[in-house]
Amino acid sequence: MNGRRNWVRGAAVALALLGATPALAQQYLSGHEDLPLLAGLHQDPDSVTVFDTPQGRIVETFAQTSQPAKAVLAAYAETLPQMGWTRKSQTRFERGAETLSFEVVGNGSPTVLRILLTSD
């Protein structure tokens, strides 16, 4: 229960960083039910690629926002540790056998993120 409370607190902070209100419904990335799609991000449903193999899983998707990449990465840096992720760099997180990475694609507006989740 305490982990859930911490996650909700982290999500509220992340939403505030993105200029949204915490009252907005939380959505999750297609392809991984455990990763939040923070307010202001819009996932391209046609961009989801999922590979399941005996060696592990790969989930790749793209999302865009009008927010600067720095704000989005800061919001995830605040939220993901509340969900058990350990920050390894500005754009990479680990949780058990999973690695989550963000890549800013291009440098225009809107901000486009490539989100890649791999697991062993």
Q: Residue 101 has what pLDDT?
A: 97
Q: CA angle at residue 90 from 73 to 19, to 5 degrees?
A: 15
Rg (CA), the chain: 14
Tell me the mean pLDDT in the region 73-91. Answer: 95
Residue 45, pLDDT > 70, answer: yes
DSSP state of 86: E
Name the pTM for this structure.
Answer: 0.75
Beta carbons within 8 Å of 74's beta carbon, 6+ residues apart: 17
Q: Residue 30 has what pLDDT?
A: 85
Residue 27, pLDDT > 90, answer: no
How far apart are the C-alpha atoms of 48 and 116, rounded to whole Å? 10
